[in-house]
Amino acid sequence: MEWIDAARAAERLGVKPATLYAYVSRGVLTRRHSDDGRRSLFSMEEIERLARRGRPRNQPPELVIESAIAALGVDRPYYRGIDALELAKTSAFESVAEWLWTAAPDALRASAPQLRNSGTPGADLPGTVSRGGSDVARADVGVLPWRCEPEALRAAVAAQRGLPGDLLPLDRLQVITTVLGASDSLRYQLDPASVAATGRRMIAGLVDALPRLSEPQGESIAERLWSRLCPRPATPALLSALQAALVLLADHELAASTLAARVAASAKADPYAVVLTGLGVLGGPLHGGASYGAERLLAEVAEPHQAARAIAERVRRGERIPGFGHSIYKNGDGRGGMLLDLVKEAAPGHERLAAGVALLEEMRRRRLPERNVDFALAILTAVSGMMSGAGEAIFAVARAAGWLAHAMEEYGRGTLLRLRASYTGPPIK
């Protein structure tokens, strides 16, 4: 079978490259990656068949937006051309966010994971993520930790005093975002450098304004977020898994929340309003809220033998199984596989891990969809002993970086995203 690159395929069909990738997401075309993983290749036979048949008309219309931020591969995303799974192994979340925002060559200065003070070359290179030392999730050496303005942070903390004590973190994050935005006089500066600076302040504020449950073990976003979600200190390996989760979840092309965020940005909404828009969509059970559903599913399985009943009851009720299946990754989500492997390495034999494995085996026995990143995130939070809803909070903090990257593209475009409806109502009189 002959394979051709995206430019040639798009030219043969007479469409833009973005439309070509839309056909892939809708199952119209098959795509594979070149040996170096940097190019998309398409079957010449499929392209010719589609060219003869004409553009697909029996599929629902799909909005196509050109973007240089993320591309979706067979089982994983690529951030500005770089494999997100590789970034999760080598780079701190802060570095990946800077890469998404700026595409600057020096934004990613990470090397392969090294132990701190191990004597190995590159062990203390800026941006290196240690997988065994006490600094597994630190930000780049020589770069100041991200910080929110003290007055804005105090206001965000004060705004939560009347909230219920058992409120889920995602609900708190919406309150925090609103207050941080109202307190930031620089929020209307929409040039790329200013938006990146706002992003650093905002993400730091989102984390630091959450109630503290334990003492932070360092200054990175991952270490500070752990202290807001878990009442006990992190082991280095579990903290490393949290760091990887933040990187893996930082962006995912035009997910529902990102589309909403881009629409807001196209109207020149400020970065806080963009993130608030994304947060509102993220909590839906078909998006970031799926991690909370997976968390509740896992909580029902006190012993591995209870997994079969938990799945059977949901199948009988005709419900989706949270944490399983993906609209893009039909044969498995590589992000979920990587994160699950990190948790297994960090806590072998843990009872919550055993329950998760039992759920995986039951789903495979029934030939139901494979696990996705939401399920792995639920396993991570359960094994770590994090509070209820922690997965949603991790998802939200991570994805804020992606929303802001997409907002920067829309600010640069300078045109309003105006979707049109296909009217199906009564005749117009």
Domain shared by 90 and 7, yes or no: no
The band of 123, judged by pLDDT with boundaries at 50, 70 and 90, is very low
CATH number at residue 25: 1.10.1660.10
> Considering only 81-95, 129-143, 361-375, which range has the smallest mean pLDDT?
129-143
Residue 129, pLDDT > 90, answer no
211 domain-assigned = yes
The band of 55, judged by pLDDT with boundaries at 50, 70 and 90, is low
Mean pLDDT (the chain) is 87
pLDDT digits (tens, 9 = 90+) for 374-427: 999 999 999 999 999 999 999 999 999 999 999 999 999 999 988 877 788 888
Q: Which of 252, 287, 326, 406 is catalytic?
A: 326
Closest CA to 44 of 12, 14, 68: 12
Domain shared by 135 and 278, yes or no: yes
pLDDT the model gives residue 17: 80
Residue 122, pLDDT > 60, answer no
Domain shared by 280 and 373, yes or no: yes
> Considering only 146-150, 276-280, 283-287, which range has the smallest mean pLDDT?
283-287
144 domain-assigned = yes
Q: Which amino acid type is present at position 279?
A: L
Domain shared by 384 and 321, yes or no: yes
Residue 151, pLDDT > 50, answer yes
> Which residue has 């995203």 as its token pair?
417
Domain shared by 35 and 175, yes or no: no
The band of 57, judged by pLDDT with boundaries at 50, 70 and 90, is low
pLDDT the model gives residue 429: 79
Domain shared by 34 and 110, yes or no: no
> What single string gives the DSSP state of each residue in 146-215?
P---HHHHHHHHHTTTTS-TT--HHHHHHHHHHHHHHH-TTTT--SHHHHHHHHHHHHHHHHHTSPP-S-
Share of the chain above pLDDT 70, in %: 89
Structural domain harbouring 31: 3-64
Domain shared by 204 and 312, yes or no: yes
CATH number at residue 363: 1.10.580.10
Domain count, the chain: 2
Backbone φ and ψ for 4, nearest 5 degrees, come out as -125, 160
71 domain-assigned = no
pLDDT the model gives residue 424: 83
Contacts of 254 (CB under 8 A, 6+ apart): 63, 65, 67, 262
Share of the chain above pLDDT 90, in %: 66
Domain shared by 92 and 183, yes or no: yes
272 domain-assigned = yes
Active site residue 184: no
> With 0-12 CB in 10 A as exposed, 13-18 as middle and 19+ as buried, what is 344?
middle
Predicted structure pTM score: 0.81
Active site residue 374: yes
pLDDT digits (tens, 9 = 90+) for 311-356: 999 999 998 899 998 888 888 899 999 999 999 999 999 999 999 9
pLDDT the model gives residue 139: 38
Domain shared by 51 and 95, yes or no: no
89 domain-assigned = yes
Domain shared by 216 and 90, yes or no: yes
The band of 143, judged by pLDDT with boundaries at 50, 70 and 90, is low
69 domain-assigned = no
pLDDT the model gives residue 36: 77
Domain shared by 327 and 242, yes or no: yes
74 domain-assigned = no
Looking at residues 187-202, what average pLDDT do you find? 97
pLDDT the model gives residue 30: 85
d(CA 417, CA 274): 14
pLDDT digits (tens, 9 = 90+) for 31-51: 888 877 778 898 888 888 888
Domain shared by 193 and 248, yes or no: yes
